[in-house]
Structure formats: C-alpha cells, structure tokens
Amino acid sequence: MRLILEGSGASRGMALGRARLEQPSRFLVDNTPLEQSEVADELLRIDQALAAARAELKGLRDKLDGPLAREVAEFIDAHGLMLEDPEFVEGLHDLISDGRYHASAALKMQRDRLVAVFEAMDDPYLRSRREDIEHVIGRVQGALNRESSVEERKLASRVGEILVSDTVAPSELVPLAEHGLLGFILTGGSTLSHSAILARSLRLPMVVGSHEALSHLQDGDLVLIDGDSGNVIAHPTAQDLASYRHWQRELAAQDKRRARLREADTRTVDGIDIHLHANAEMAADVARARSFGAAGIGLYRTEFLFLQRRDAPGEEEQFLAYRDLVLGMGGLPVTIRTLDLGADKADSAGLVLEDEPNPALGVRGVRLSLRIPQLMYTQLRAILRTTGYGPVRILVPMISAVEEITMVRRLVDECAMQLRAEGHQIAERFEIGAMIEVPAAAIALRSMIQHLDFVAIGTNDLVQYTLAVDRNNNELGDLYDPLHPAVLRLIAHTIAVCRRNKRPVTLCGEIAGDVYFTPMLIALGLTEFSMHPGLILEVREAVNTLHAGELRKLAAQLLRAGDRASIRAVMQRMRASMPTIMENADPAAAAH
C-alpha cells in the first residue's frame, strides 16, 4: 500500500528504485555465491571475526567492577557462550562451505533463524532476548566489517537500488555510485554534511532525517524519493509514476534551456560581471566545471583524495591529482584547499587521529596540518609543484588566528626553497588565502587581511560556528539559519573588509549555489561565487535577471533587520525581480 515518509531533501532530484536496507549494525551482505577457491578464505574470515568478538567480550568482562559487575558478567558470559555454541559455529561453517555463502550472508541467515526462534516464543521475557542475538551477531558483524566493509560494498552490484540506512560515510558514496546506486534515504544525516555535499556532486538524490524509513520499508520495496521535498513514497501509484516521468521531461527541457547559457556571460542587467567558479571534489567535477562555463575552480576539497584508503597519499600521488586538475582547467584559476580533516571526515582517511569529544571544535583543518608537519609539507610540496602548470592559489581552512596564516606562509616558503633547489619549475610567488568560517576570523579580519592574498567565505561552517548549531545535526532544523542577522553581518563585514583592502573574496559555502540567496549576496557586494558545477547555469540564469545597483540599495535594510520576519520581507523584495527562478529554489532554502 502507498506510504509517504517525510524527511528533508539533501540532494535534489528524484529517483525510483528498489529499497536496499542496511540496519545501523551495518549488515553489509554480499549475496553473490562463493567460488570453490574462495571458501577456505571465507571460513578463515568468519573464524577470525568470531575470535575477535570473543576477545572483545573477554576484554569487557575483565574490566568489570562495581556493584553490578556480577549481573553484567552473566550477560557477557551468555553472549560468549553463544559464540562458542558448536551448533551456531558449525551452522556458519556449513553455510559457507556447503551453501557457498559469503561470511556476511551466512551470519545474517543464522541471525534470522535465531531471531525467528525467539520471536515464536510465548514467554515475553524470552522473546525480548532476541536483542541479545542482535548484539552478539552485531559484534561479529562489526569485526567482519572492519576488515572488509569497503570491499564488500564495492563487490555488490547496486544497480537500481536506493540505499536505506542510518548514515552513510563520504568515503562510501563513490563506490556505491560507481556500482549503480540511485539514491539515499537516511534516517539520520543532515543536508550540510559532507556526505550530502558529495551526493549533490554525484547528482544522487538524498533524503535525510527520514526517521521511519528503516522500520517502515523492506528490502526490495519500490520507492520513489524526492530530494527536493524530502518525501519518500513507498509502493508508488500509477499517478506517482506519472509525476516522476513528468519530472524527468521537465528536467530534460530545463537542461536544454539552460544549455544555451553554457557559453554566456554572467552579468547583471546593470553590467556588473559576476564570476561563477566551481567547487570540486573529484576529477569528474573538472569536466563538468568546463562544460558549464565555470570561471575556474574556487574550492578544491583535497580531503576526498585522502578518504577511502588505509594510508595518506604521498607527494607524487597528490601532485599528479592536483596537476591534472590544473591542466584540466586549461589556464583558468584553480584554488586548492589544504587538508580539512577532523570532525566528520577523519575516520576513513588512513590517518590515526585521537578520538575527540568535540571534533568540530577540535583538531580540524589547519590545526591538524600544523600538528602533523610531515602531512602539511607533503601536501604543500605537491601543490607548489603544480604552480608551474597554471594559476594556482592555496586556500587554508579553519583559520582562527593570524599566526596560523604566518606559519603556513613560512612552511610554503620553506617548501618552495627546497623545490627550487631540487630543480622544480615553480611560480615566483604564491597566493595564500584563508577560509573565513570561524567567526573570530571574520570579526578580526582587519588585522589579518594584510597577510592574505585572497579570502573565501565558508558559510557552511560560519553558520555552524556563529550560531553554535551543528551542521550535521538535522534535528536542529531551523536553527541552522544562514539568514540569521549575526551571520549576515559577518558576511557583509568580510566582503566590505576585502573590498576596502582590494582583496578578492569568494563565497564557497552551499548558499553560493542556491538561487534563493543570489540576490542577497549580490546586494552585499559579492562578485565571486563558487558552487557545485551542476548549479552554475541556474545561478547564471538568475544573475542575468538581477540589477545589482537596485539590490545594493536594499543591503542596509537587510542588515538593519533584526528578526526573521523582517529579514525575510527584505529577501522577498530582493527576489521579486526573478519570479521564474524561485520555482527552482534549492530544497535547503525551502526551510528558510
């Protein structure tokens, strides 16, 4: 029966496909049959995972003390007994060697069997013990996943599937997309997470905060997801399918209309040139940036090169990736951002980082790079080596104090000296810029600006840090507000300081590619934007209808407005000149 589940749209577009559920314990099941030659390895894997789970339980038991130690020990012992149970273990072995199931599939079958037995019990207490089964098997599954999650995800074909999960890591997105996955429904997640940013780059629709998805959907259900509204329709009707086809036709028509803008200038009706650069995370973004007429790469997020691997990439590997980016842009400017790991991105980067209670306020971005000098040297050398191939700028994330910039500049100078001594052809001078994403940097920009060649405003983080609202926590909803007066004033101040000091300033947060915000940003004096390449034509279409002079007259009103209602009223007046564009406003803006 048709069922609508609500969530928030995190990556636009619709997708129709079969639901593929992954429970939070990450049951990554490979259902392809094993070859005879793979059986021995798979038996070894399951035995190692069982041993690891037993060792974990023993470790837990050894640490017990305090008043409840005895009771807890009994639970742990019961779990341990299950892992020793010959019937359980032999059952797994039989499924692998006779049934030719992968370890993950065999484990899932054993789990399903045991859960069915417990669920059939009359005694409510015993019935509730199925939780123990989930925990024990989850532990074994965890041990299996640790060695093979990416491999298993890579192996399994995802053609025609929509992943339903609690979260998805940025590193998992690319292999999933390469294997034909169509979209994501996440019970958790956020529209501003790096996974959402990457999904937008990959043009994969994503719905986040769809709390009921895992409990209401089943594997194989036909689902239609709408990454604009955030709605998920399970078992769509003929009418739903008709609107899906209608959307596909509209999209094709819109693409055709906008294709005419590929070669066009981006200029307001009163003749102000606006430069639209592309954000890039992967090589494919370069081709798209070129084809949509980007003015350059305004933000290359290097951390994606570090994800999905066991060790950090070396200088040569980084150099080749950056050089290809520069070559690919054929002489247009490229801004390469140094590593911005920490917070939500560190886990799968092949770097061992200490767990932090508050990673967004911890060792992130430039703080991490300065603490691991070898990491920064390697990256800076790789970037500097590309300066012989085209115009390259170096952008430093998470700057909060001028000393960080002077330290980076010193390292750049040292690397440049070494490289020249080694005979590399590199530029004479290097442009170094700061991401303005920590409020302190925006507020103190005047005392920092002389040390900077350019500035990039990172509103994704600036909003989070100014308002103390976690960008990855969708539950905070409306509180994450790029139109908060404090945020508007910081953006306006940053642009004004840069203009006064003749420093180029770009805005590269998600709002740069959202036409809802375009008039407001032009009103504040912004002329350089950087966004997902796929949004360039839409923003160009919007800019070409706007009158910068008229908008600037409204800027003072906007900055004076102190509450949501009056800010939105000014926004409305600013947007009045672009009525057709509004229908296409980004879903993230729908909340504003």
Of 99-107, 129-137, 290-298, 456-464: span binding Mg ion (CB under 5 A): 456-464
451 catalytically annotated? no
**In this complex, which beta carbon is closest to Mg ion, that of residue 461 or of residue 514?**
461
**Cβ distance 591 to 478 under 8 Å?**
yes
Strand order in the sheet with 232-234: 3-5, 232-234, 222-226, 14-21, 161-165, 183-186, 206-208, 8-11
3-state SS of 230-297 is CCEEECCCHHHHHHHHHHHHHHHHHHHHHHCCCCCCCECCCCCECEEEEEECCHHHHHHHHHCCCCCE
342 binds ligand PEP (CB under 6 A): no
Q: 161, 344, 437, 481: which one contacts ligand PEP (CB under 6 A)? A: 437
The dihedrals phi and psi of 432, each to the nearest 5 degrees, come to -120, 130
194 catalytically annotated? yes
Q: 268, 379, 386, 460: which one contacts ligand PEP (CB under 6 A)? A: 460
458 binds Mg ion (CB under 5 A): yes
**Cβ distance 515 to 534 under 8 Å?**
no
Q: 326, 508, 548, 559: which one contacts ligand PEP (CB under 6 A)? A: 508
What token pair was written down for 21?
């559920």
338 binds ligand PEP (CB under 6 A): no
| Active-site annotation holder among 102, 498, 508, 532 | 508
437 binds Mg ion (CB under 5 A): yes
| Active-site annotation holder among 194, 277, 532, 592 | 194
User: What is the Cα–Cα distance from 235 to 255, expressed in whole angstroms?
Assistant: 29
User: Which stretches of 431-563 are DSSP H helices?
Assistant: 439-443, 445-448, 459-467, 485-500, 518-523, 536-543, 548-560
**Cβ distance 136 to 82 under 8 Å?**
yes
Q: Shortest gap between Cβ of 344 and Mg ion (angstroms)?
A: 11
Q: Shortest gap between Cβ of 267 and ligand PEP (angstroms)?
A: 25
Neighbour-count burial for 127-137, b at 16+ CB within 10 Å, e otherwise: eeebeebbebb
Q: Shortest gap between Cβ of 476 and ligand PEP (angstroms)?
A: 16
Q: 461, 470, 481, 538: which one contacts ligand PEP (CB under 6 A)? A: 461
Q: Shortest gap between Cβ of 64 and Mg ion (angstroms)?
A: 42
Q: 226, 461, 538, 541: which one contacts Mg ion (CB under 5 A)? A: 461
60 CA to centre of own chain: 34
Q: Return the bridge partners of 530, or none.
A: 277
Q: Report how many residues bind ligand PEP under the rule CB under 6 A.
A: 10
Among ligand PEP, Mg ion, none, the one that 509 touches (CB under a kind-dependent 5 to 8 A) is ligand PEP
Q: Shortest gap between Cβ of 367 and Mg ion (angstroms)?
A: 13
57 CA to centre of own chain: 34
Q: Shortest gap between Cβ of 316 and ligand PEP (angstroms)?
A: 25
**In this complex, which beta carbon is closest to Mg ion, that of residue 106 or of residue 434?**
434
385 binds ligand PEP (CB under 6 A): no
Q: 165, 193, 266, 459: which one contacts ligand PEP (CB under 6 A)? A: 459
**In this complex, which beta carbon is closest to ligand PEP, that of residue 57 or of residue 463?**
463
Binders of ligand PEP among residues 270 to 299 (CB under 6 A) are 299
* Residues near 495 by beta carbon (within 8 Å), at least 6 away in sequence: 457, 505, 524, 525, 526
Least Cα distance to 574 among 556, 590, 562 occurs for: 556
Question: Coil, strand, or helix at residue 225?
Answer: strand
Please list the active-site residues: 194, 508
Which residue ranges make up the site for Mg ion (CB under 5 A)? Answer: 437, 458, 461
Which residue ranges make up the site for ligand PEP (CB under 6 A)? Answer: 299, 301, 340, 437, 458-461, 508-509
